Amino acid sequence: MHTATQTCTPEDLLAMPDRKGFELVDGRLVAINSGTLSSWVGGETFGLLASHVGRHNLGIVWPADNGLQCFPDDPAKVRRPDVTFVAGDRFAAGRLSEGFLRVVPDLVVEVISANDLARDVERKVAEYLDAGVKLVWVVDPDTRT
């Protein structure tokens, strides 16, 4: 995980042309680790979940390029799980807005990449649960778990 030294706001991140490759933690840009295998597993997970959710009209599923800004302890934090699901009845007037998602998801999926450190994945899981996410899946492509 590479962290930039210059501080940044969520608005700054949204304005960046390469914003999809970064999260925002403690005011610092953090490069997202990804590789071919983890990207493929995340895409397959998104596709399967989106198909099921769509077939049963359960809500909305986002792929990895969506950012979450739903952390009450740090409103400026932006995380990008590999897959995000929010039940359909959780949106005011059924409308989506631009910017980062501020609704606490019902499910997030983190796919472990080759360069991810266990402590970083554990920190993300704790942040999601502390924010009120009901369910967090951590998928390890190497062990197929």
Tens digits of per-residue pLDDT, 13-72? 988 887 778 889 999 999 888 889 999 999 999 999 999 999 999 999 999 989 999 999
Q: What's residue 91's pLDDT? A: 72
Instruction: Report which secondary-structure segment, H or E, holds 46.
Output: helix 36-55
Q: What's residue 2's pLDDT? A: 47
Question: Which residues make Cβ contacts (< 8 Å) with residue 118, sequence separation at least 6?
Answer: none
Pairwise CA distance, residues 99 & 86, whole Å: 16
Instruction: Report which secondary-structure segment, H or E, holds 6.
Output: strand 3-7
Beta bridge partners of residue 39, listed in sequence order: none
Of 57 and 89, the one with more pLDDT: 57
